[in-house]
Chains A and B, each alone.
Chain A
Amino acid sequence: MKRFVFVALALVLVFGLVFSGCGGSSVKMSPEEFYKGKTIRFIIPYGTGGGYDTWGRMIAPYIAKHTGAANAIPENISEGAGRVGQNMVYNDKNADGLMVALTGADEMAMSILLGNTEGMEFDWLKFAWLGRVTYEDAVLLANAKSPFTTIEGLVNAKTTIKAGGHEKLAAQLAGACLTASALNLNVKAILGYAGSKETTLALQRGEVDIATMSGASAVKLVGDEVKAVFIVGETRMPALPNVPTIFEAAKAANIPVTDEGAKFIKLWYTTRVLMRELFAPANTPADRVEFLRDAVEKMMNDPDFKAEVNKAKYETQYLRGDAAQKMAKETMDSLKSVNMAEFKKVLLEKYYK
């Protein structure tokens, strides 16, 4: 029996040495030398098959390519609606630059604004911000057979307008609620669809009348069954050049927009441009952070990457890490001029009867 225990312990030691590579040293070397041949963990704090997952799996090989690493392996950690993955990245004890995450800072901003910080074990501004890959404008879609395909139709509605979505803070319902607040609409928000795909089906079926969808998925939906009414934001979408913004549409139809509603939409927009950010753990050494930022920039300009993005019919909206971080901080400062209690009420309570 003792012999076996000895053998077992010996095996543990052998394996430990073999598989851990005897630990890392902290000899100072340049980022290029450091990354050469290494493996980067590419964390996606969401489930497989979603937008972040698709983007992440597209991006990972290019991160490897432009840092000189041997590979970047995507890892989905979807527990806790993303928080577990985000916490893990933030608190990474190694913080050696071999961990990168693709996550949404827009959702973090909204959670902080609304006071839903349960489970957040990080200060979002202290992540190493490596760059924004893209963000998506939100467009209000309506079922083509409903009377709500124009702004006049919405305002003159004789029945309750049904809006559908997955979560209160996701674009589908948030955009609808903000629109309702800006134009004084009688909207009933229906929460509980299993995701944007199911909401889409409900919209096409006529089970709900409106939903706000973002970016690429919205563009693909516009057609015979679903019409785009307006962009819930301040600028038009390049992919839908003929669709006016809510403000332009209101002006053209002589419909008043409430002051507070307009402010809310602007605030929402400033959080939405924080989507799809690449992060590294908080204490990553500064030179490696810069190196990673350069790598991200090279990736965004890489013709192969651009070709893949085009193939998937996506668009990029690159912003360098430090600029993104700065923008995030400004968003937080700008909230001082907004009536937070009312903002919260509009998004979370008012239209959920």
Chain B
Amino acid sequence: MLEGIYDGFLLLMNANTIMFIIVGVIAGLIIGIIPGLGGVIGLVLMLPFVYKMDPATGLIFLLAFHAVTCTGGSITAILLDVPGTLSNAATLIDGFPMSQKGEGDRAIGAALTSSMLGGIFGGVVLAVLIPLIRPIVLLFGSPEIFMMMLFGISFIAVLGRGSQIKGLISGSMGILLAFFGYATIAGVPRYSFGTLSLYDGFELIPIVLGLFALPEVLDLVTTGGTFAKVPPPAVKGKRFSLTAGTIQGIGDVFRHWMLFLRSSVIGTIIGIIPGVGGETAVYVAYGQAKQASKCKDEFGKGCIEGVIAPESANNAKEGGSLMPTLGFGIPGSTGMAILLGAFFIMGLEPGPLFLREHIDIVWSLVYTLIGANILGALICIVFAKQLSKVSFVRGHILAPLILICCLIGAYAPTNSIMDLMWMFVFGVIGYAMRRYNYNRPALVLGFVLGPEVERYLHLSLKAYGPLFFLKPIALILLILFIVVLAYNPIKQAWNRRRMTKGGLGYER
């Protein structure tokens, strides 16, 4: 293992590779910032470039690209209430209200710092656990994954932003929508009305673009105004200097270092589990941040903790998801699936043999992950002031541009025009949800997790019978989750008892 540490470093130390890392990071940031073009589509678009490169350089480029897309995407989520990539979907919950209040640069500062440190955390954990990759991934079977997802989905109740019933309505809608389409557990398409377009059900990206981006575009078209509802702060100083807000945001991450650590751990663990995607990690991180926070009522209205948690998790998860990918050739996330394809095309084959024969490439990927995260965040911070100006651009210029990005973004994943139509349908639904105060992130959460919970429950029952939750790790997870979820209600009830007992004694 240790020989690889030095050799991996050597692989990076040539001008060609470094140049590709820089290009990869810049490309990743740009693709991340553009709504609709994040994550998987971005990687697919990069694949043709990679064929001509030699294996190590090509993989380093792809990883550098992929590692920073959710760093760039946080900016769009905060400034425009539209997630730049799917992993930024929880960042907008508190990020956008902050930018509405004029605190956009503070949110961006915090998001970028969390992203950078979270990415480093994930990379370091990956490095430390390289010898243990295989045993760890093998620990998580269907029962364990089911427990994790159940936990994730329970956060629908916690996501904040609005009334409880409406939140549950949104979440249930999301879950129901996900049931449309091919049901893996039985091999039949559900509710497809005989059409091929719905055979696979709805695609996530057109839904997210429709729900979040189109209502904003409609606003821009209607008023021609800007996103930010407060006038641009009169900022003095050099063009690339940091604003006071950005510096405050950077400091916030260090002030909330326990939160950062917890969120990064969550992100990494969820990344390690193959099958549970990155979208889950951000919601779980957000949810636990709210649970543990002393000012949980602020969540949803612009609380900095609600930005730090998901952004740490979504970068940390990349380090985690490299573990099953490299150790087993089993992708830890959809992005990793594409990366894996690139591995094969280059004649490399992740797996136990790979960990032994190409340990230098493994280490070079670890360094790339850490380096790309640092570089990406630094580039963004330097340009933070410029980037936050986006929310002050005239609506009538921004609207057609965002709309065009959405059109391409909805079409690109499946080359399907029908997905454009669904995007518009969800645009109408999204507008209504926004207008009537229904929680849109909850719908996305339900959509992402719903069918997976069903699937893993089915697999757990079939493989282990009804007592599957008694398997050691699953049981531990179950107990942990009950404790975490029940903690707050029990604490409140306990406090109430203490108050009445202690005899403040007023009647209600």
Contacts and interface: CB of A to CB of B under 8 A. Distances in A.
Please determine if A and B sit in direct contact within the complex, based on CB atoms under 8 angstroms apart: yes
Interface of A: 48-49, 53-54, 57-58, 75-81, 83-84, 87, 118-119, 162, 164, 166-168, 188, 190-194, 197-198, 200-202, 204-205, 207-208, 220, 223, 311-313
A49 B455 contact: no
B274 A201 contact: yes
Contact of A191 (B184, B197, B351): B184
Given A54-B344, A311-B347, A192 B458 contact: yes
Contact of B185 (A83, A191, A220): A191
28 contacts: A48-B40, A48-B44, A48-B341, A54-B341, A58-B345, A76-B414, A78-B200, A78-B414, A79-B196, A79-B199, A80-B199, A81-B200, A84-B196, A167-B184, A190-B463, A191-B184, A192-B455, A192-B459, A194-B275, A194-B455, A201-B137, A202-B141, A202-B142, A205-B138, A207-B464, A220-B329, A220-B349, A220-B351
Contact of A77 (B141, B415, B455): B415
Nearest to B274: A201
Contacts of A167: 184, 187
Contacts, number: 115
B194 interface: yes
Nearest to A221: B351
Interface of B: 40, 44, 47, 51, 137-138, 141-142, 182, 184-187, 194, 196-197, 199-200, 274-275, 324, 328-331, 337-338, 340-341, 344-347, 349, 351-352, 414-416, 418, 455, 458-459, 462-464
Contacts of B274: 197-198, 201
Contact of B194 (A57, A76, A118, A188): A118
A201 B141 CA distance: 8
A207 B141 contact: yes
Nearest to B41: A48
B345 A119 contact: no
A198 to B, nearest CB: 6
Most B C-beta atoms less than 10 A away, residue of A58, A166, A193: A193
A201 B330 CA distance: 8
B199 A200 contact: no
Contacts of B414: 76-79
Closest 8 CB pairs of A and B: A80-B196, A311-B347, A192-B185, A80-B199, A49-B337, A49-B341, A190-B462, A197-B330
Most A C-beta atoms less than 10 A away, residue of B352, B458, B459: B459
A54 B199 contact: no
Given A201-B137, A201-B330, A207 B463 contact: yes
Contact of A313 (B40, B185, B194, B349): B349
Contacts of B199: 79-81, 83, 119
Given A76-B414, A192-B455, A198-B274, 13 more contacts: A48-B44, A48-B338, A58-B345, A79-B199, A80-B196, A166-B184, A188-B462, A192-B458, A194-B455, A197-B331, A202-B141, A220-B329, A220-B351
Contacts of B351: 220
A205 B145 CA distance: 13
Most B C-beta atoms less than 10 A away, residue of A79, A197, A200: A79
Nearest to A192: B185
A202 B458 CA distance: 14
Contacts of A198: 274-275, 330
Given A192-B455, A201-B330, A83 B462 contact: no
A192 B452 CA distance: 10
Contacts of B182: 81
B330 A312 contact: no
Contacts of B331: 49, 197
B455 to A, nearest CB: 5
A47 to B, nearest CB: 8
A312 B345 contact: yes
B182 to A, nearest CB: 7
A220 B352 CA distance: 10
B322 to A, nearest CB: 15
Nearest to B137: A201
Contacts of A223: 352
Contacts of A76: 414-415
Contact of A53 (B187, B341, B349): B341
A79 B338 CA distance: 18
A58 B352 CA distance: 25
A282 B210 CA distance: 38
Given A54-B341, A54-B344, A119-B199, A192 B330 contact: no
Contacts of A205: 138, 141
A79 B200 contact: yes
A201 B464 CA distance: 16
A53 B40 CA distance: 15
A83 B402 CA distance: 32
A39 to B, nearest CB: 14
A191 B186 contact: yes
A42 B462 CA distance: 40
A325 to B, nearest CB: 25
Contacts of B137: 201
Contacts of A162: 462-463
A84 B196 CA distance: 7
A77 B416 contact: yes
B330 A200 contact: yes
Contact of B187 (A58, A80, A168): A168
Given A200-B330, A201-B328, A190 B459 contact: yes
A28 to B, nearest CB: 33
Contacts of B40: 48
Most B C-beta atoms less than 10 A away, residue of A53, A87, A192, A204: A192
Contacts of B186: 191
A312 B185 contact: no
Contacts of B275: 194, 198
A297 B351 CA distance: 34
B408 to A, nearest CB: 15
Given A205-B138, A311-B347, A80 B200 contact: yes
Contacts of A48: 40, 44, 337-338, 341
Nearest to B340: A49
B347 A312 contact: yes
Nearest to B196: A80
Contacts of B142: 202, 207
B352 to A, nearest CB: 8
A313 B463 contact: no
A304 to B, nearest CB: 13
B151 to A, nearest CB: 20
Given A76-B415, A198-B330, A49 B338 contact: yes
Contacts of A118: 194
A192 B346 CA distance: 30
Contacts of A83: 196, 199
B61 to A, nearest CB: 17
Contact of B184 (A49, A79, A194): A194
A77 B40 CA distance: 15
Most A C-beta atoms less than 10 A away, residue of B137, B328, B330, B418: B330
Contacts of A166: 184
A176 B199 CA distance: 27
Nearest to A76: B415
Nearest to A162: B463
A54 B349 CA distance: 13
A135 B194 CA distance: 31
A171 to B, nearest CB: 14
B345 A57 contact: yes
Nearest to A78: B414
B48 to A, nearest CB: 9
A347 to B, nearest CB: 11
A76 B338 CA distance: 13
A204 B141 contact: no
